[in-house]
Copies of this chain bind each other. A is one copy, B any other.
Amino acid sequence: MAVYTSVSDEALAAFLAEYELGEAVAFKGIAEGVENSNYYLETTKGRYILTLFEKRTDPADLPYFIGLKQHLAARGFSCPLPVAAKDGEALRRLAGRHAVIITFLQGLSPRRPNAAQCRELGRGLAQLHLAAADFEMTRENSLGPASWPILWQGREANADALEPGLADKIESDLATIRGAATLSDTLPRGTIHADLFPDNAFFLGDRFTGAIDFYFACTDALAYDLAICVNAWAFEPDGAFNFSKAKNLIAGYEQIRPLQDDEKAAFPTLCLGAAIRFFLTRLVDWTDTPADALVKPKDPLDYAARLRFHRTAESIRDYGGE
Contact = CB atoms under 8 A, between A and B. Distances in A.
B291 A292 contact: yes
Interface residues of A, number: 36
Contact of A108 (B24, B31, B104, B107): B24
Contacts of A1: 1-3, 29, 31, 294
B30 A108 contact: no
A6 B32 CA distance: 12
Contacts of A112: 8-10
A260 interface: no
A95 to B, nearest CB: 10
Contacts of A108: 9, 12, 24-27
Interface of A is mostly: loop
A183 interface: no
Given A9-B110, A9-B111, A294-B1, A30 B30 contact: yes
Contacts of A109: 27
A107 B29 contact: no
B3 A111 contact: no
A117 to B, nearest CB: 9
A28 B8 contact: no
Contact of A31 (B7, B26, B30): B30
A293 B32 CA distance: 17
Interface string A14-57: 00000000011111111110000000101000000000000000
A106 B28 CA distance: 11
Nearest to A105: B26
Contacts of A32: 28-29
Interface string A200-217: 000011000000000000
Given A294-B294, A294-B296, A28 B40 contact: yes
Nearest to A104: B26
A64 B191 CA distance: 55
Contacts of A292: 291-293, 296
A136 to B, nearest CB: 33
Contact of A7 (B106, B111, B293): B111
A281 B293 CA distance: 22
Contacts of A296: 292, 294
A26 B107 contact: yes
Nearest to A106: B25
Contact of A3 (B26, B31, B205): B31
A151 B32 CA distance: 34
20 contacts: A1-B2, A1-B29, A1-B294, A6-B111, A7-B111, A8-B112, A9-B111, A9-B112, A12-B108, A25-B107, A25-B108, A26-B106, A26-B108, A28-B30, A28-B31, A28-B32, A29-B31, A30-B30, A291-B291, A294-B294
10 closest A-B pairs by beta carbon, nearest first, are A29-B31, A31-B31, A3-B31, A8-B111, A25-B106, A291-B292, A291-B291, A27-B108, A28-B30, A9-B110
